[in-house]
Every structure is written in structure tokens, then in C-alpha cells.
């Protein structure tokens, strides 16, 4: 199987290449600016892992599958040129919940993903939050308003430094942004609504002074007779990438992995669900590779965890 990775020099694309390098597939890195260079020259961490010569975008359509790890807005312009490619996986927001595209939340849409030819990988905040709330939505329990506070690491903003997100604005700092106005809310509500319903979702994102990771704290109200522990255990039984913890999750345990670690806490009818992912792992490349594994029938290798003990 030949897989083109468009945007392989970026944070998500390089991670897709790293994860795919464990599979028995041929990887073709694609770049609009570095064609002709070796990928490991553009992404030094990939030396000895991915030394392929980078190709121009015109080569992408010759693959069996294409992963688009390009900025929002760019993928939509590239897809028409990939009409003959059997499988396209888009990591950007351009095709989430779009006609003809399967939403690649692998734990909940595995069957649809496995038979899809066009897959839109969920957003990073959306993944952390939706996996935390999906068991409630699927059980029809997400009726009242839900409050979420979630913090993300700096790689969530991509490789190009911007005033509000680059190192000096984040280091030794902690701040909220896009309060009650984050672009992932409609995406989350659409997904949870499709599972069984979702009340209003109030989301406050924060910037973490870390390079990777998303930690979400979700507050929901459910009847006190609902057995939340059983509900979550049943919902994620056999879902190897979602781990239910007795204590609280920590970012260091999911770093570099495709795991989503959840814990569920309650006080009467107040439920709190904590969720930890790596934004580049489960929040992007790891989930894209999970989708490729399902759609191309590749072995599940992404559970191998390089996390800190």
C-alpha cells in the first residue's frame, strides 16, 4: 500500500509519517516547499525513520491513500485533484460533517470508517471532549447544559509561530482564549447529537505552557441513580485506545500515544469527566492512523506507548 502524506513537514504530517513507519506500507511525503529534500532533513527527528525524498503535490494522486495534514482551507482546494485516489483522510476541519465524508471518531464510527473512501479526522479539542461525553450522549443522558474547560499545548497551533501562541506568550503563562466561541463546539455538538442528543455546550479553551497535550474537564448533570462507572466501562469495553482510570488522567501518560485516558467522578447528580490526550497523537495523527488501519485493514500498532512512566 502506498500512502502519500501531504504536509509531511508539518507537526501533524510528520507524526503521521512516524506512526506509519511502524507499518508495512510505502510512505510518500509531499510538500509544497521542500520537494527534492529528504524528509529527515526537513524533520530532523525522523532521521533513520523516514529518509524518503519529498515529492511535489502532483505525485500525491498516484497513491492508494492520501493523508492531508494541511492548514484549514487548503485541503478543500486539494481534494478535487485527488478524485481517483481510493482513500483520502483529511486532518483539517475542511470536511468534518461534510456530505460524502465519514467523521473519523474511530471508537464510535469504526464500521463506517472501515468502509469509507473519504474520512475527516476530528479536531483535537473535539476528540478529547467528545470521547468524554459520548457515553452520556449515546445513553440519551446529555440533556442539560454541559460545561467544559480544556487546556491545550502549543503544538496545537501548528509549526508557524503566531503572536498569541508562540513561546513567549505561553511559557510560564496560563490563559483562556476564544471563551464560549471555539470553532470545535459545533463539531462536538453535531457528533454527540448524532449519537443520541446533546444539550447546550459551554466551552472555555485554555493555553498550556507545554508543547503537547490536551486536558479537558467536563461537567454534566445526570440523575443520581445512573451508574456512570458501568456506563463508561461498557461504552469503552474493547476500545483499546480509550482507557478508564480510577484516579485522574495525566498528560505524561498519553504523550506520544493514541490513547485517550478518562476518569469519571460524581457528587449526587453532578458528574465530572476528565479526559487527557496528546493533541498530535489521539487528537490528530494517531487518530488518522487509526482510521487508516480500519480502512486499509492494517494491524493495530498505535497502541505501542512511548509514554513517561
Q: Which residues are catalytic?
A: 124
Three-state SS string over the chain comes to CEEEEECCCCHHHHHHHHHHCCCCCEEEEECCCCCCCEHHHHCHHHCCCCCCECECHHHHHHCCEEEECCCCCHHHHHHHHHCCCCEEEECCCCCCCCCCCEECCHHHHHHHHHCCCEEECCCHHHHHHHHHHHHHHHCCCCCCCEEEEEEECHHHHCCCCCCCCCHHHHCCCCEECCCCCCCHHHHHHHHHHHHCCCCCEEEEEEECCCCCCEEEEEEEECCCCCCHHHHHHHHCCCCCCEEECCCCCCHHHCCCCCCEEEEEEEECCEEEEEEEECCCHHHHHHHHHHHHHHHHCCCCCCCCCCCCC
How far is residue 253's CA from residue 231's CA, in Å, rounded to a whole number? 23
Should residue 71 be labelled a site residue for ligand NAP when binding is judged by CB under 6 A?
yes
In terms of CB distance, is 68 or 231 closer to ligand NAP?
68
| Residue of minimal Cβ distance to ligand NAP | 10
Residues of this chain, 212-251, that bind ligand NAP according to CB under 6 A: none
For ligand NAP, which stretch binds (CB under 6 A), given 6-14, 140-148, 262-270, 292-300?
6-14
Q: Could you tell me how many residues of this chain bind ligand NAP (CB under 6 A)?
A: 29
Should residue 40 be labelled a site residue for ligand NAP when binding is judged by CB under 6 A?
no
Work out how close the CB of 35 gets to ligand NAP at its nearest, in angstroms, rounded to a whole number: 8
Q: Which member of 10, 135, 205, 213 binds ligand NAP (CB under 6 A)?
A: 10
In terms of CB distance, is 122 or 249 closer to ligand NAP?
122
Should residue 74 be labelled a site residue for ligand NAP when binding is judged by CB under 6 A?
yes
Binding mask 120-159 for ligand NAP (x = CB under 6 A): ---xx------------------------------xx-xx
Should residue 72 be labelled a site residue for ligand NAP when binding is judged by CB under 6 A?
yes
Measure the N-to-C terminal CA separation of the chain; round to a whole number of Å: 35
How far is residue 149's CA from residue 203's CA, in Å, rounded to a whole number? 6
Work out how close the CB of 253 gets to ligand NAP at its nearest, in angstroms, rounded to a whole number: 18
In terms of CB distance, is 71 or 209 closer to ligand NAP?
71
In terms of CB distance, is 252 or 265 closer to ligand NAP?
252
Q: Which member of 26, 117, 160, 270 binds ligand NAP (CB under 6 A)?
A: 160
CA nearest neighbour of 276 among 299, 296, 259: 259
Should residue 4 be labelled a site residue for ligand NAP when binding is judged by CB under 6 A?
no
Work out how close the CB of 271 gets to ligand NAP at its nearest, in angstroms, rounded to a whole number: 27
Should residue 52 be labelled a site residue for ligand NAP when binding is judged by CB under 6 A?
no
Residues of this chain, 246-305, that bind ligand NAP according to CB under 6 A: 279-280, 283-284
Work out how close the CB of 237 gets to ligand NAP at its nearest, in angstroms, rounded to a whole number: 27
How far is residue 237's CA from residue 232's CA, in Å, rounded to a whole number? 8
**Interface with ligand NAP (CB under 6 A):** 6-7, 9-13, 31-34, 69-72, 74, 91-92, 123-124, 155-156, 158-160, 279-280, 283-284
Amino acid at each position: 500500500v502506498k500512502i502519500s502524506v501531504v504536509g509531511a513537514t508539518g507537526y501533524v504530517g510528520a507524526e503521521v509519517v512516524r506512526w506509519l513507519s511502524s507499518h508495512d506500507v510505502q510512505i510518500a511525503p509531499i510538500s509544497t516547499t521542500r520537494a527534492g529534500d529528504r524528509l529527515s532533513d526537513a524533520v530532523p527527528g525522523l532521521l533513520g525513520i523516514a529518509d524518503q525524498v519529498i515529492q511535489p503535490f502532483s505525485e500525491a494522486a498516484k497513491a492508494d491513500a492520501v493523508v492531508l495534514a494541511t492548514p484549514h482551507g487548503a485541503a478543500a482546494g486539494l481534494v478535487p485533484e485527488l478524485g481517483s485516489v481510493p482513500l483520502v483522510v483529511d486532518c483539517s476541519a475542511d470536511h468534518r460533517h461534510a456530505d460524502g465524508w465519514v467523521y473519523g471518531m474511530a471508537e464510535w464510527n469504526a464500521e463506517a470508517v472501515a468502509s469509507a473512501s473519504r474520512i475527516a479526522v476530528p479536531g483535537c479539542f473535539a476528540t478529547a471532549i467528545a470521547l468524554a461525553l459520548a457515553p452520556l450522549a449515546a445513553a440519551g443522558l446529555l440533556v442539560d447544559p454541559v460545561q467544559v474547560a480544556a487546556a491545550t499545548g502549543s503544538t496545537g497551533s501548528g509549526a508557524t509561530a503566531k503572536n498569541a501562541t508562540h513561546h513567549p506568550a505561553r511559557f510560564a503563562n496560563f490563559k483562556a482564549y476564544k471563551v464560549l466561541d471555539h470553532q470545535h463546539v459545533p463539531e462536538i455538538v453535531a457528533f454527540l447529537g448524532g449519537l443520541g442528543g446533546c444539550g447546550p455546550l459551554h466551552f472555555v479553551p485554555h493555553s498550556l505552557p507545554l508543547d503537547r497535550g490536551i486536558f479537558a474537564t467536563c461537567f454534566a448533570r445526570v440523575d443520581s441513580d445512573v451508574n456512570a462507572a458501568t456506563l463508561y466501562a461498557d461504552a469503552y469495553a474493547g476500545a483499546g485506545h480509550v482507557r478508564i482510570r480510577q484516579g485522574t488522567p495525566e498528560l505524561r501518560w498519553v504523550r506520544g500515544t493514541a490513547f485517550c485516558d478518562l476518569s469519571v467522578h460524581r457528587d449526587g447528580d453532578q458528574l465530572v469527566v476528565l479526559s487527557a490526550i496528546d493533541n498530535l497523537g489521539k487528537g490528530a495523527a494517531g487518530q488518522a492512523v487509526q482510521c487508516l488501519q480500519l480502512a486499509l485493514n492494517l494491524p493495530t500498532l498505535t497502541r505501542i506507548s512511548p509514554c513517561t512512566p
